[in-house]
Amino acid sequence: MKKMQLKTKTRDQFIDITREVEKYVKEQAVSDGTITVYCPHTTAGITVNENADPDVKKDMIMRLDEVYPWDHEKYRHAEGNTASHLKASTVGTGQTIIVADGALVLGTWQGIYFCEFDGPRTRTYYLKAMIG
């Protein structure tokens, strides 16, 4: 398992981590198996989505903000970041990606994203190879 860190710059941000995951696949010499990408935070997550058009990330953040507004009169969580918890639960804590012939099996337009919903912060995520 490999522990990775990154620094986010804004409250809501999708960071493309595809290259880091591909590098890990090469470091581990994974020919066939899976890679799990896991986020141990309650206000961040991991997703696989389009990485060709940057407007997709903007649209996703916009819509998540509409569904889960930052301020809501009925939120009760004392830290004031209920929206970030809701967004993280919607996106999920991790993804498992198939590796075949030493390469991630992703669609033509897909990338792997670390999703920040309560930044800016220094964040951690983990990579774990399952060979076979």
Predicted pLDDT of residue 56 = 95
Give the pLDDT band (50/70/90) at residue 85: very high
DSSP states of 88-120 = HHHH-SEEEEEEETTEE---TTEEEEEEESS-S
Give the pLDDT band (50/70/90) at residue 79: confident
CB 46 within 8 A of CB 125: yes
DSSP states of 26-38 = HHTT-SSEEEEEE
Q: DSSP label at 50? A: E
| pLDDT higher than 80, residue 80 | no
pTM of the model: 0.94
Compute, in degrees rounded to 10, the torsion defined by CA atoms 112, 117, 121, 125. Answer: -40
What are the structural domains, with CATH classification, of the chain? 2-131 (2.60.120.460)
